[in-house]
Amino acid sequence: MDRFANHRFDDVRFAIGNGAGASDLFLHRHDALSSPLFDRVSPPLLRWIADQRGRLIAIERDSGRVLPRLAGDPIGLGWRDLFPRMDRRALLRAALTEDRPQPLTLRIRQATGQERWCLVRMARATGSVDRACWYGTVEDVSDQHHGAARFLADALAESREHYRWSVDLSPQVPWTAGADGNVEEVGPRWFDLTGMLPEQALGTGWLGAVHPDDLQRTVAIWTSHLATGTPVDVDYRIRLQAGGYRWMRARASARLDAKGAVLRWYGTLEDVHAERLAQRALSQSEERFRLAVQSARLGIWDFDCVAGTRTWSAEFRRMLGLSEAQPATTELALSLVHVEDRDRLRAMLDAVADGIAPPHFEATLRIFRADTGALRWIRSTGWLTRTDAGRPQRIIVTFLDVTEERDAEERIRWAATHDPMTRLPNRALWQAALEEMAARAQGSGTGFGLLLLDIDELKRTNDSLGHDAGDALLTAFAGRLMALAPEDAVVGRLGGDEFGLIAESLSDRSALERFSMALIDNVRVPHVHEGRTLDCGVSIGGAVFGDHADRAEDLLKAADLALYASKASGRGRLTLFHSELRAEAQQRSSMIRMARQIVSDNLVVPYYQARVDMRTNQVLGYEALLRWVHPRMGLQLPGSIAAAFDNGEIAVALTRQMLASVLRDLRQWLDAGHDPGRVAINASAADFASGDFADQLLQQLDRFAVPTAHFEVEVTESVFLGRGTDQVARALDQFVQAGVRVALDDFGTGFASLTHLKQYPVDVLKIDRSFVSNVEQDAGDAAIVDAIVKLGVSFGMEVVAEGVETAAQAQFLLRRGCVVGQGFHLGRPKPFAMLSPPMKNADTN
């Protein structure tokens, strides 16, 4: 008995509590400790039973395990001394709240004074032993608990190390803040960035690192989000430890409780400086692009082919006269386009939609502004991008209002093709119309008329009244011509005083004559300019396409020949082309070719005709007359090359050759000791046109050492009437001052007036041979001769009668007071060789 007592005491302990229930439980203790209810709790290491009052009434140890001894006897309420206070309360609280609480890990004191961790499981009993209240087990889990604790410690250390490395290597700075927004924690990288200790950043200390310009904005944003609890995302600059500032992005979200109240803020601070600089550069680039587009006055049409959306820039809307509220639609754009350009734009848009548009395209369209209806020219330039599959992706079209540019181009084009004074087409445009009309007439087999018109004596108006009067006459003539011209006529100013007219309605001779006569009569009515009357006449040459020529250029030549004939035959008339005119033109061309050959081969030979005092037959001088020697036909008169004298270039060249030959002859006369008197040479208007004729002639006189007293220059009255009269006046003044006399030839046959005799220094008046030849039979010619002689005497001029061919004419002239004559009766023209030595008396042979 004694040897089993300790075993029973150590392994199975029973205590009889007070009351019948305890006694019954004690009697059935073996059944209770072996109850399957313990298996429902857990595999027991130490089984126990407690009553409803929490008194331990029975315990049993697991005989297969060696367990430490307890610090005291747990029976009854002794178990309370085995547990620390906090653990005992946890055990009681669990028993009072649940029938089968979760296992509790508690500390239990051992006999050695140490505490071991145990796992207590329990359940309220309602089974067969219903007087018992609680069944439970105690399991020693110290080893497991220490292992788990070590594991947890290791895991915590690893987590902390992982967190530390994550924070150290992350470019972001983590931080937390309380519900009031005061920072409570900040990552160590904060110090690396700012040089501010993390504890200095707590609360609102971090604001000390914020750029002053960003401080107010940042605080305002942070404050507003504290009130709402919504996530924060704000950019600001912070001061760096190394100096300067860097853009950072702060983001934070709030952790909320079950009621939605903020418990804590969790945030990061991220370096976005490079991104911000790139964004700024992009913004600046976009701003420069916007300003460039704005300064270039470009409108933009951005079409997303994938999404089907269109965006019109504000400048494009202003260009179209649209408000911002009006939608950007294709239909609206087409409605504003000029009807003649609408199909072209629609075709371009369809080509884009069908994917066949080129990557770059241009077009110039006309649009009507939506607000004013004004017509504007718009130049569009488009670029198309495609997807990898080749489908249209995006279309960017720029628009530029080129109305002013277009108008300027039109003005330039108009100026290039029109005469600014009369506003008529110029030669180029008129001739293009002529060629087009000729091509049309060739195709249809019809004809049309062409008239070339030349204003008579426009030069005289310019010289006598000034160029403003001449311009007024030109403009008035153009107005009258346009007023009388048929509706289908194309009228142009071809240059100077020449005009052209072509009309399909003037397709025969009678129609040209009727129109020309009406125009001639109309322009004869004087024009009035600034109170002055301007007389005007017109010479006309005409030709009919089909009758006179079958090509435009030939028709123009035919009319030009007819015009030349009108001017040569007295002006103020119409001449229609006929075949003889072409022959005359060919003759003139032949004369000009011959004259060029004469100049080239130096074939000019001067002949001298004496100027004689008819009272004494004394030779007073000579007039040098042009002759030339044909290689086969011998000596030729100037009439054989008469057309060449209308060519300024050839006329000047002939004068130079004559001057050189005459001065050589004069030099020989003087070297031989003979006195030739005054030798005269004829000068044309072309000679004076260069402006240095007097200088060149005087230099030649010096070169040949011929005294100016032996030289005289003869001019016709046409010299005074042409352009460059100022040059003529200067040259004549130079001659007079140098001692070279000036003679006016053919006086009385043209338009020379007393004004010219007063205006220009003339020493000699030469009566034209047409008055002298009939002076005995024609009283009118006699009166003219008498008047010229008296006029010359009154002006103190020498008067010379040309064409004296009979003694009776010489006597008549002497009776009228004209003592100097020139003609076959007084001496025929002779070469220099036949006059050496010059005769003292006139040759009457």
What average pLDDT does range 703-720 have in this prediction? 89
Residue 4, pLDDT > 50, answer no
Query: What band does 661 get if pLDDT is binned at 50, 70 and 90?
Result: very high
Distance CA 268, CA 277 (A): 20
Q: Which residues contact 422 (CB under 8 A, 6 or more apart)?
A: 474, 475, 478, 493
Residue whose entry in the numeric block shows the structure tokens 């005409």: 542
Residue 30, pLDDT > 60, answer no
Tell me the per-residue pLDDT of 43-56, one tens digit each, with 9 for 90 and over.
456 888 888 888 98
What is the identity of the amino acid at 81?
Answer: D
Tell me the per-residue pLDDT of 505-522, one tens digit each, with 9 for 90 and over.
999 999 999 999 999 999
Least confident of 1-5, 122-126, 141-145, 201-205: 1-5
What average pLDDT does range 683-709 have in this prediction? 90
Half-sphere exposure of 418 (CA within 13 A, CB side): 13
Whether 466 and 591 have beta carbons less than 8 Å apart is answered as: no
What average pLDDT does range 318-334 have in this prediction? 82
What average pLDDT does range 617-626 have in this prediction? 94
Between 3 and 292, name the one with better pLDDT.
292
For 251, list phi and psi in degrees, rounded to 5: -130, 140
Half-sphere exposure of 78 (CA within 13 A, CB side): 13
For residues 332-342, b (16+ Cβ closer than 10 Å) or e, as one string?
A: ebeebbbeebb
Residue 607, pLDDT > 70, answer yes
Residue 624, pLDDT > 60, answer yes
Between 60 and 448, name the one with better pLDDT.
448
Structural domains present in the chain: 2-148 (3.30.450.20), 170-277 (3.30.450.20), 296-392 (3.30.450.20), 418-577 (3.30.70.270), 591-835 (3.20.20.450)
Least confident of 232-246, 398-412, 604-618: 398-412
| The dihedral formed by the CA atoms of 286, 290, 296 and 302, expressed in degrees to the nearest 10 | 90
The pLDDT value recorded for residue 1 is: 35
Before 101, cis peptide (omega within 30)? no
Tell me the per-residue pLDDT of 413-472, one tens digit each, with 9 for 90 and over.
888 899 999 999 999 999 999 999 999 999 998 999 999 999 887 777 776 677 788 888
DSSP letter for each residue of 608-631: EEEEEETTTTEEEEEEEEEEEEET
The pLDDT value recorded for residue 537 is: 86
Between 286 and 702, name the one with better pLDDT.
702
The pLDDT value recorded for residue 643 is: 82
The pLDDT value recorded for residue 302 is: 76
Least confident of 181-195, 306-320, 326-340, 796-810: 306-320
The pLDDT value recorded for residue 130 is: 52
Among candidates 19, 292, 225, which has minimal Cα distance to 132? 19
For residues 688-722, b (16+ Cβ closer than 10 Å) or e, as one string?
A: bbeeebbeebbebbeebebebebbbbbbbbebbbb
Residue 837, pLDDT > 70, answer no
Percent of the chain clearing pLDDT 70 (strictly above):
85
Distance CA 789, CA 837 (A): 32
Residue whose entry in the numeric block shows the structure tokens 């050496």: 836
Q: Is 260 left (phi over 0), alpha (psi -120 to 50) or beta?
A: left
Percent of the chain clearing pLDDT 90 (strictly above):
34
Residue 305, pLDDT > 70, answer yes
